[in-house]
């Protein structure tokens, strides 16, 4: 009786008008298709006991899946939000568990029909219950790409926002605050809030955590603040701000006092802040935090502008000259090694022949040359370069990708060795037979930006082919291995006494995993994070005096 009128309206809307219905099932179990000709008649006949197959409405529970389903988070329960057009849309933070991207992926949507199925999906499969992965006990759902770059732009040193901007971004992110905190500075009569202050509004008020983030590549920049915390445990805000650095995150009582936000804050696998919020404040609070922080990051990145083009890889002339020097030094070293080998002066490494020793020493020299060229490029491009921001914060790519775009590609290898197959005594016919030099065996001195020579392009294709073959072979091998594992383990279960048994009651393991710990509830494999427990206790005691 409570929903008969609503469903009658849906039947009258029919299959074409939303929200409508496609079929009805009468008490005898006959499935009747709704059409223009019969919908009014059926609407009048509708009575208690009939079933109406209606259109989906906002808030309905559905199961969403992307194949290949390799772990349990490949199918999760979502709430429907009906939108125009015919593509599925999902929150970006949920892409990692599905391994989904937007280059043509197809996904499946299943609609549980009974109340029991819907309740089961809601309790067991809702997205927020799967923020922590059962594989490594860390977050698998988290900020990706723009969320991380935006988080960095928001919280880096020197990021300030006007009152209008702060109100706009908090409204966009759905953050409910009764009043804004005090502004961090006033210039020419205009109030400014730092990004750190705004970020702090999203955190639980008693959250305390500190860690080195991805930006701390030079330990010396993080040591002063670490020493201060070691000495005082609860230093004052002024003391922290004096030694604050983007590379070290320090949050006390829900206030971000030092450090910029990057992948280590709320990214997948690394997200320390997200991890602590899930465990200490529950999944609902974690869902709220992730929702708000990703929207905040999107607002910042949209309004401040963040783009990357080919001129992001432009290096000044002195950087190019330094890279050329590095290449010449490396080629000289390789030549000296080859001469030592030919003159019988090369000492073989333990367990290796002379040839293997020569190859491994040459590989080491050329690999060091590429790394040094990368450091030069990184130094000259700097942290205002958007490509560098993406690599350093963990949003996308690595410094190696920037090295290859801006400085040089370096040595191409197959199975960890220099290129050795091709023509007799040489890889390509462009080189003399028996030439052991760097360039003859696949050392590429150009970058993607400067462009490869024909020989280099050929070497690069040889190195790149290994990746393609490897991907195809690995997929088949891991798929078959998973299948054998599932067949072998499918009827084992953990009993109420903590043992693992087969259906006949035979014990396979006395304690599940030898320690009885659910990986999802472990701290990255550890039963409990002892350091964190001690730290929280000490801080509480210190604050009480």
Q: Kindly report, residue by residue over 424-479, the tens digit of the pLDDT.
A: 889 999 999 988 888 999 999 999 999 999 999 999 999 999 999 999 999 999 99
Question: Residue 545 pLDDT more than 80?
Answer: no
Sign of CA dihedral 123, 126, 132, 137: positive
Question: Residue 219 pLDDT more than 90?
Answer: no
Instruction: Indicate the pLDDT class of residue 326, thresholds 50, 70 and 90.
Output: very high
Residue 359 Cα distances to 153, 245, 319, 431, angstroms? 44, 42, 29, 18
**pLDDT of amino acid 494:** 94
d(CA 453, CA 440): 13
Give 113: exposed, middle or buried? Use CB within 10 Å, 0-12, 13-18, 19+: exposed
d(CA 346, CA 30): 88
- CB–CB of 413/459 below 8 Å? no
**pLDDT of amino acid 275:** 92
**pLDDT of amino acid 82:** 94
**pLDDT of amino acid 232:** 82
Question: Looking at residues 237-242, what average pLDDT do you find?
Answer: 86
**pLDDT of amino acid 518:** 87
**pLDDT of amino acid 237:** 83
Instruction: Indicate the pLDDT class of residue 503, thresholds 50, 70 and 90.
Output: very high
**pLDDT of amino acid 251:** 92
Share of the chain above pLDDT 90, in %: 66
- H/E segment holding residue 207: none
d(CA 420, CA 441): 7
- CB–CB of 396/144 below 8 Å? no
**pLDDT of amino acid 364:** 93
Sign of CA dihedral 469, 475, 478, 481: negative
Give 427: exposed, middle or buried? Use CB within 10 Å, 0-12, 13-18, 19+: buried
What's the mean per-residue pLDDT of the chain? Answer: 91
Q: Which residues pair with 121 in a beta bridge?
A: none
Question: Looking at residues 234-247, what average pLDDT do you find?
Answer: 86
- In 10 A of CB 488, how many CB atoms? 9
CA nearest neighbour of 265 among 88, 395, 446 = 395
- CB–CB of 365/335 below 8 Å? no
- In 10 A of CB 331, how many CB atoms? 18
**pLDDT of amino acid 97:** 94
Could you give all domains of the chain from N- to C-terminal order, each with its CATH number?
A: 4-54 (3.30.1490.180), 61-130 (2.40.40.20), 146-304 (1.10.274.100), 310-452 (1.10.132.30), 493-539 (no CATH)
**pLDDT of amino acid 137:** 85
**pLDDT of amino acid 489:** 94
**What pTM was estimated for this model as a whole?**
0.88
Question: Residue 482 pLDDT more than 90?
Answer: yes
């Amino acid at each position: 009786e409570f929903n008969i009128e609503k469903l009658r309206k849906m039947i009258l809307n029919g299959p074409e008008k939303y929200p409508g219905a496609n079929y009805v099932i009468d008490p005898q179990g006959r499935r009747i298709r709704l059409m223009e000709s019969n919908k009014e008649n059926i609407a009048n006949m509708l009575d208690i006991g009939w079933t109406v197959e209606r259109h989906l409405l906002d808030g309905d529970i559905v199961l969403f899946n992307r194949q290949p389903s390799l772990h349990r988070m490949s199918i999760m329960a979502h709430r429907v939000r009906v939108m125009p057009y015919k593509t599925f849309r999902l929150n970006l933070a949920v892409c990692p568990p599905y391994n989904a991207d937007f280059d043509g992926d197809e996904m499946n949507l299943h609609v549980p029909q009974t109340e029991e199925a819907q309740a089961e999906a809601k309790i067991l499969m809702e997205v927020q219950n799967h923020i922590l992965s059962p594989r490594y006990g860390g977050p698998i759902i988290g900020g990706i790409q723009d969320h991380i770059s935006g988080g960095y732009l928001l919280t880096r040193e020197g990021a300030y926002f006007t009152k209008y901007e702060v109100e706009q971004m908090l409204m966009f992110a759905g953050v409910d605050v009764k009043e804004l905190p005090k502004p961090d500075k006033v210039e020419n009569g205009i109030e400014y809030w730092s990004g750190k202050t705004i970020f702090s509004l999203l955190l639980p008020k008693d959250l305390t955590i500190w860690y080195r983030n991805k930006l701390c590549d030079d330990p010396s920049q993080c040591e002063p603040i670490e020493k201060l915390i070691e000495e005082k445990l609860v230093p004052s805000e002024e003391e922290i701000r004096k030694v604050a650095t983007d590379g070290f995150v320090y949050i006390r009582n829900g206030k971000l006092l030092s450090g910029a936000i990057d992948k280590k804050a709320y990214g997948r696998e690394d997200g320390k802040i997200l991890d602590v919020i899930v465990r200490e404040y529950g999944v609902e609070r974690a869902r709220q935090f992730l929702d708000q922080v990703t929207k905040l990051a999107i607002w910042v990145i949209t309004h401040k502008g963040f783009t990357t083009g080919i001129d992001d890889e432009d290096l000044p002339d002195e950087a190019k000259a330094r890279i050329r020097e590095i290449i010449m030094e490396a080629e000289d070293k390789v030549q000296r090694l080859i001469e030592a080998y030919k003159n019988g002066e090369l000492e073989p490494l333990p367990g290796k022949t002379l040839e293997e020793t020569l190859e491994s020493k040459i590989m080491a020299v050329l690999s060091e040359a590429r790394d040094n060229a990368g450091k030069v490029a990184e130094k000259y491009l700097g942290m205002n370069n958007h490509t560098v921001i993406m690599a350093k914060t963990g949003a996308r790519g690595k410094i190696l990708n920037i090295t290859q775009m801006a400085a040089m590609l370096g040595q191409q290898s197959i199975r960890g060795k220099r290129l050795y197959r091709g023509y007799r005594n040489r890889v390509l016919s462009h080189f003399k037979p028996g030439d052991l030099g760097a360039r003859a065996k696949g050392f590429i001195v150009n970058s993607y930006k400067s462009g490869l020579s024909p020989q280099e392009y050929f070497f690069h294709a040889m190195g790149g082919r290994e990746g393609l073959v490897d991907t195809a072979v690995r997929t088949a091998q891991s798929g078959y291995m998973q299948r054998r594992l599932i067949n072998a383990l499918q009827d084992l279960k953990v009993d109420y006494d903590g043992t693992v048994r087969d259906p006949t009651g035979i014990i396979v393991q006395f304690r599940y995993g030898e320690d009885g710990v659910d990986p999802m509830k472990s701290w990255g494999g550890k039963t409990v994070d002892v350091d964190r427990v001690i730290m929280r206790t000490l801080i509480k005691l210190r604050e009480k005096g």
